[in-house]
Structure 1
Amino acid sequence: MSTQPPLQKANQPPLLRVQHLVREYTLPRESLWRPPASVKALQGVSFEIQAGRSLGIVGESGSGKSTLARLVMALDQPTAGSVELEGQNLHTLTPAALRQARQHFQMVFQDPYGSLDPRQTVERIVTEPLYGLRVATGVSREQARQQAGEVLREVGLRPTDLDKYPHEFSGGQRQRIAIARALITRPRLIVADEPVSALDVSVQAQVLNLMQELQTHHGITYMLISHDLAVVNHLCDDVAVLFKGQIVEQGAPDVLFSAATHPYTQTLLQAVPQARPGQRQRKPRRVDAA
């Protein structure tokens, strides 16, 4: 396994390119005599992420963050615009081609209690992407179990945990299982939608440390969705502020958090003092595993 992220070449195209993304939803009719109304959850969102880097998308509830995550994951179709991963427009791929491409981008959800099936063992949960995406074609169950044991070690758990069920773990450990499930296909991109917001503050730091280590060892690219500026400050190289479906400000955390120019960004900073504007620590003191 690689222990260092791939070197970036000059003028290398971005791993992920989102261009002019629009998502409009039609609201239910209030009556038969009125035309249906609509609302734009996203209004022309554009950004790029280079391989091996992390972009944080921040904003309040209703700003369009989760809609953006669903579109990047090709779980929903945009009204306009495109999402390109390694030059491929995900929304123009055939179902078979999209299934094949999915091994290169995975998602970690917000709630580790809700994202893991309580009726399945950890082995079944972690190896599910291998079979669902047909990555495991020609791979025996023993080989798939061995791969699952390897990724469990990487996230700080033991291979003997494969036979357990989600209820036997703490919240932080469950999120580690969710990360292992995303990691098993060795994706280039992981979309993390509020991955630590359901965890205690001390456990949040542990999970963020883990995500940093995985990025260092495997060159993973993150798109991190969060409302917490402290979390984004901890993990991300760049930040984009989403407000009413539009990116209103973007830049490095050091600069953005110390010299925000948009009133909405300034309001976010005032509301979350623990973000410590202008004081960023990319590699905080490591804490013990959850």
Structure 2
Amino acid sequence: MTAPHQPLLRVRDLSHHYPLPRQRLWGPRPQLQALRGVSFDLHAGRNLAIVGESGSGKSTLARLVMALDTPTAGSVQLLGRDLHRLPARQLRAARRDFQMVFQDPYGSLDPRQNIQAIVTEPLRALAPVGRAQLRERCAQVLHDVGLRSGDAGKYPHEFSGGQRQRIAIARALITRPRLIVADEPVSALDVSVQAQVLNLLLDLQQAHGITYLVISHDLAVVSHLCPDTLVLRQGEVVERGATQQLFTRPEHPYTQALLDAVPRLDPAPL
């Protein structure tokens, strides 16, 4: 448990470089600096959005927080543990506390596995679990996301896009995490079901005490889910603040440019 004043997630001076192909055979290998000295705190129960245009470093930041990539510099601490300094066995155990919901509900689910195998995969990766317990835990999280326990024996192609994203959310829930990183969680869905999934995420937060780190370019999604927002531009933090204030009175020109780029429907003249 974290103390009331202690952040759930603490990111400090996080930087990451991607190596690029050499331009000359014996020349130095150039690097793309995807993140530059990013720092922020995320407190339990107070969702934070990371926004910015494509190439701003949002997805790189998500992968570093999830310990899927290793940073060039800086640290990611979850519940006081530096994830990138943990031995592999301890990191595997720590993954119980943080999971991820990916953008594409079609590509993130293995079409060759049934729903029970997909949903329980993170739980099975932690330690051996009996079949009866797997069935029970799978049925519970499917119920939590609005699906039936009988869906466990079906396959991804039998579900709609919105249902598949519910399955992806159930998979993230199975370990009872403290933190879920949601990378563009509704961008691949029809507009008609986006609100349903967003409301589901908020209901699950209330029921299970989850905190979300939301990666998004959709400012409407951010406004719905996150009281705080951090703006990334070319790998650097240019602004952070309360979402409502930041969207109504932005201080940085880049934030204003993001807001100006949001499509608006003008009423047709009579």
List aligned pairs for 1:99-178, cutoff 5 A: 99-134=92-127, 137=128, 139-178=129-168
C-alpha separation in 1, matches of 2:58 and 2:223: 17
Pick the aligned partner of 1:28 from 21, 25, 31.
21
Equivalent-residue separation in structure 2 for 1:38 and 1:164 (angstroms): 45
**Could you tell me which residue of structure 2 aligns to residue 234 of structure 1?**
224
Give the AA of the match of 1:265.
Answer: T
Say whether 1:243 aligns with 2:236: no
User: 2: CA distance between counterparts of 1:254 and 1:110?
Assistant: 25
Name the amino acid aligned to 2:143. Answer: R
Find the aligned partners of 1:9 and 1:43 in 2 and give their Cα distance.
Answer: 29
Uncovered stretches (5+) of structure 2, i.e. residues with no partner: 265-270
CA displacement 1:116-163 (0-9 Å, x = unmatched): 0001000100111111122xx3x3201111110000000000000001
Cα distance in 2 for residues equivalent to 1:9 and 1:26: 39
Q: Does 1:192 align with 2:182?
A: yes
Report the TM-score when normalising by structure 1. 0.89
| Alpha-carbon separation, structure 2, partners of 1:156 and 1:192 | 19
Kindly report structure 1 stretches of 4+ aligned residues shifted beyond 6 Å.
Answer: none
Deviation at 1:191, TM superposition (A): 0.3
Residue 206 of structure 2: aligned partner: 216
2:30 matches 1:37: yes
3-state DSSP of counterpart to 1:19: strand
Q: In 1, Cα distance between the equivalents of 2:232 and 2:126?
A: 32
Query: Runs of 5+ in structure 1 lacking a partner?
Result: 1-5, 275-290
Query: Which residue does the alignment assign to 1:264?
Result: 254
Alignment map for 1:62-101 (pairs within 5 Å): 62-101=55-94
- How far residue 59 of structure 1 moved from its aligned partner, in angstroms, is 0.5
Fraction of identical pairs, as percent: 67
> Is the CA contact (8 Å cut-off) linking 1:53 and 1:220 kept in structure 2?
no
Q: Distance in 2 between matches of 1:27 and 1:119?
A: 35
Q: CA deviation at 1:34?
A: 2.7
Structure 2 Cα separation of the partners of residues 133 and 59 of structure 1: 34
State how far apart, in whole Å, the 2-side matches of 1:97 and 1:46 are.
24
Shift of 1:9: 6.1
The separation in 2 between residues aligned to 1:75 and 1:116, in whole angstroms, is: 18
The superposition leaves residues 198-219 of structure 1 with CA deviations (integer Å, 9 ceiling, x where unpaired) of: 0011211000000000001111
Pairing 1:268-283 to 2, within 5 Å after superposition:
268-273=258-263
Pairwise CA RMSD: 1.3
Quote the residue 1:201 is aligned against: 191
Contact preservation (8 Å) 2:49, 2:216? yes
Paired letter, 1:64: G
2:41 is matched with 48
